[in-house]
Structure 1
Amino acid sequence: MPLLANSPTSPTPSYSSKIDEDGQWDGGSFVPRDFSEAKWKLEGQPWTSTYHTLTKLREFGLDPESERAKKTVELVRHNCRWDHDGQPYWDGEVEECINGQTVATGAYFGVDISSIVERLLGDRMEDGGWNCERERGSVRSSFDSTISVLEGLLEYERVTGGTQESIAARKSGEEYLLKRKLFRRLSNGAVVDEKYLLFDEPGRWNYDILRALDYFRKQSLLTGEAPDSRLQEAIDHVRFKRQDDGKWLFDREHKGREWFTMNEGVGRPSSWMTLRALRVLKWWGEKHV
């Protein structure tokens, strides 16, 4: 049943032409150097800083053994400091979403980020997940924070083998999502947020069920575990959203400064959405995708 009635189009990323001499992008770790709170309110969150760019380079598959990647990692190590309190970049900061993706990127590029992993293990909430609002009093996990941390722990595990503690934390975060079938409230089964049923790329810190399914696909391929049956309703929604021409649409965008766009516009067919959806359905066992 439907839950909502509702080709990569960008040029090859030219991040090398955007990088600063000190190895940063746009002069900052999470926020560009020249960005102000007033600009944020006017333009939206910027996506051109070092953190966001390194995340995309990882997702695009930049060879971590390449000379350029290794040089950038070292430049970031020596020159980049977090906006929060001036912490060295590869030491992480305090927010779970940021630390989760920093773990993923650091592990991918061969950085020892075990100290950030340890912090994330201590930040896990009683219900099994994470919430970047924890320091501001939140006592419940969020879908957005949990998926960001899970992606980091899984990449850490892929590269290093993980630890007994990190694997247990990963499994508890997965269970948090699975108990809720990726998008439903545990209390009454209602949809937590209808935006979770809309697909976008790049998702950045935002959660949606296609991102979660892609995570579980990667987890299954790494661990050899069979797909969990509690993913079925989310899979059905992915199948429902396929258009008559076999493609999937780009559902929503996140405004703000960026190096380039990856889709042709909201409501239009998207090669990125189609690739990701087909990949998930093939993993699930669809024979004709």
Structure 2
Amino acid sequence: MPDPIRKWLLAGDPAIRWEVLRTPREQRRIAKEGWGAQLLQLQDPDGRWAHGIYTPKWTSTTYTLLLLRSLGLEPCNPQAIRACRILLDTGFWSDRGINYYPRWQKRSETCISSMVLAVLSWFALDDPRVDQLARHVIEQQMPDGGWNCRALPGYGGATHGSFHTTISALEALLEYERFRPQLAAPARAAQSRGREFLLVHRMFRSHRTGAVVKSAMTRFWFPARWHYDILRGLDYFQDCNAPHDDRLSDAIALLEQRRGPDGRWPLQNRYPGKVFFDMEQVGDPSRWNTLRALRVLAWWQNS
């Protein structure tokens, strides 16, 4: 990492500093200073955020916990654990997934189940239902190796994996693998199949025509919420230290093309919705995107 870029990253929020330094001291600061502390201070007295479980987007309990996970808030943080229990108690369904809309949806939703599994695993919630939830997510994997929330009967009946659902499932199973290593063999196998789904699509292309599936996937957003983009996908590959595969080359080339002349990556867009505060401004150099891009490239060069 170039020294000026490193200094710029270290001048940022404690969450960024922790990502660079990875020391316990820096991680402890996240709950006391900066973005993490602000989010914790905004928790409702009943343990939720914005008085909601999954909505409003992006200030509800689900999306705030996802953001706190991305910020690196310490596992077992009492405020996060309280909110994790609320997510699980409110949505755990008879099929062992998460269903926050039982009045009109009679099965759990795979995107939501995956996102909830990711936060429960990161924050190390000690509850046997977490293991059941992980099995549920694995069971929703499709024959092509991907996942799709619209594969449910009566909810689209999709027969092809979705980039969006797949990346949420992969991230969740990686968190679960680290949380429950003694139970993780099925999660590892499912991830291998899921990575192959992304590789067959070269991370952003149709496996039939080679065309870009959606131009939004080629722009880099943070936080990603439930959306897929190339940088999010590549960051998962480096996070699990996946084997080198030349089918990633197109995505790596695009990532390098997005680097600015000053060696930094901008925040290219933002998903519409409510937020408690903006961490970065669209169009400006982004510490989040630069940090993630540099660690992806370091992994690629060394894999």
Fold-level match, TM-score > 0.5? yes
Give the helix-richer structure, 1 or 2. 2
Q: C-alpha separation between the residues in 2 aligned to 1:151 and 1:245?
A: 31
Decide whether aligned partners of structure 1 residues 53 and 213 sit closer, same or farther in structure 2, where only a CA change above 3 A counts: same
Query: 1:278 aligned to 2:294?
Result: yes
Q: Which residue of 1 aligns with 2:121?
A: 107
- Helix, strand or coil for the counterpart of 1:248? coil
Q: Which residue of 1 aligns with 2:26?
A: none
Q: C-alpha separation between the residues in 1 aligned to 2:175 and 2:205?
A: 26
Which of 228, 232, 257 pairs up with 1:240? 257
Q: Which residue of 1 aligns with 2:111?
A: 97
- After superposition, what is the alpha-carbon deviation per residue over 1:122-163, rounded to whole angstroms, capped at 9, x for unaligned? 211111111111122111111011001000001101111243
The answer as to whether partners of 1:216 and 1:227 remain within 8 angstroms in 2 is no
Q: Which residue of 1 aligns with 2:59?
A: 48
Q: C-alpha separation between the residues in 1 aligned to 2:245 and 2:269?
A: 28
Which of 140, 148, 151 pairs up with 2:160? 140
Q: Which residue of 1 aligns with 2:135?
A: 118
Q: C-alpha separation between the residues in 1 aligned to 2:81 and 2:100?
A: 23
User: After the TM superposition, which parts of structure 1 deviate over 4 Å for at least 4 consecutive aligned residues?
Assistant: 7-11, 74-82
Query: What pairs with 1:1-289 in structure 2 (closer than 5 Å)?
Result: 11-13=34-36, 14-32=38-56, 46-74=57-85, 83-85=100-102, 94-111=108-125, 112=127, 113-135=130-152, 136=155, 137-161=157-181, 162-220=183-241, 225-265=242-282, 267-285=283-301
- Offset of 1:110 from its aligned partner? 1.5
- Offset of 1:174 from its aligned partner? 0.7
Flag the structure with more relative contact order, 1 or 2, with Cα contacts below 8 A and sequence separation at least 6: 1
The answer as to whether partners of 1:31 and 1:83 remain within 8 angstroms in 2 is no
Q: Which runs of 5+ in 1 are unaligned?
A: 1-6, 33-45, 87-92
- Offset of 1:77 from its aligned partner? 5.2
Q: C-alpha separation between the residues in 1 aligned to 2:207 and 2:90?
A: 44
Q: Name the count of aligned residue pairs.
A: 256
Taking only the aligned residue pairs, the percentage that are identical comes to 38
- Offset of 1:105 from its aligned partner? 0.6
Decide whether aligned partners of structure 1 residues 164 and 199 sit closer, same or farther in structure 2, where only a CA change above 3 A counts: same
Return the TM-score normalized by structure 2: 0.78
Q: C-alpha separation between the residues in 2 aligned to 1:80 and 1:133?
A: 18
Q: Which runs of 5+ in 2 are unaligned?
A: 1-8, 16-33, 93-98
- The letter of the residue matching 2:299 is W
Decide whether aligned partners of structure 1 residues 67 and 119 sit closer, same or farther in structure 2, where only a CA change above 3 A counts: closer
CA RMSD of aligned residues (A): 2.2
- The letter of the residue matching 2:134 is V
Decide whether aligned partners of structure 1 residues 127 and 152 sit closer, same or farther in structure 2, where only a CA change above 3 A counts: same
